[in-house]
């Protein structure tokens, strides 16, 4: 099992796009939506990396393992 490493907001957005999500709202907390999964995911857009706890929650909501998320 891989270790969860904090990533930037920009890298998280890229991974969500690779997973089939598209941005539907911009701002301080952009929202990404996947029609296939009928799921919306808000992500923080603050300076620095996304906190590990927040990142782990997003990964859990996506239904992915840490390894699968790192491979995106």
Domain ranges of the chain: 9-71
Class (C level, CATH) for 9-71: alpha beta
DSSP bridge pairs for 31: 25, 42
pLDDT on residue 6: 86
Rounded to an integer, what distance in angstroms lies between the CA atom of residue 36 and that of residue 5? 27
Q: Choose the weakest-confidence range: 12-16, 20-24, 46-50.
A: 46-50
pLDDT at 47 over 70: yes
What pTM did the predictor assign? 0.87
What element of type H or E holds 9? helix 9-18
State how beta strands 22-25 and 31-34 pair. Answer: antiparallel
**Is the Cβ–Cβ distance between 56 and 4 less than 8 Å?**
yes
Q: Residue 33 gets which letter from DSSP?
A: E
């Amino acid at each position: 099992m891989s270790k969860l490493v904090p990533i930037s907001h920009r890298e998280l957005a890229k991974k969500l796009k690779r997973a089939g999500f598209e941005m539907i709202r911009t701002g301080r907390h952009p929202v990404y939506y996947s029609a296939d999964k009928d799921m919306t995911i808000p992500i923080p857009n603050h300076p620095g990396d996304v906190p590990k706890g927040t990142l782990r929650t997003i990964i859990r909501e996506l239904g992915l393992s840490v390894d699968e998320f790192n491979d995106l």
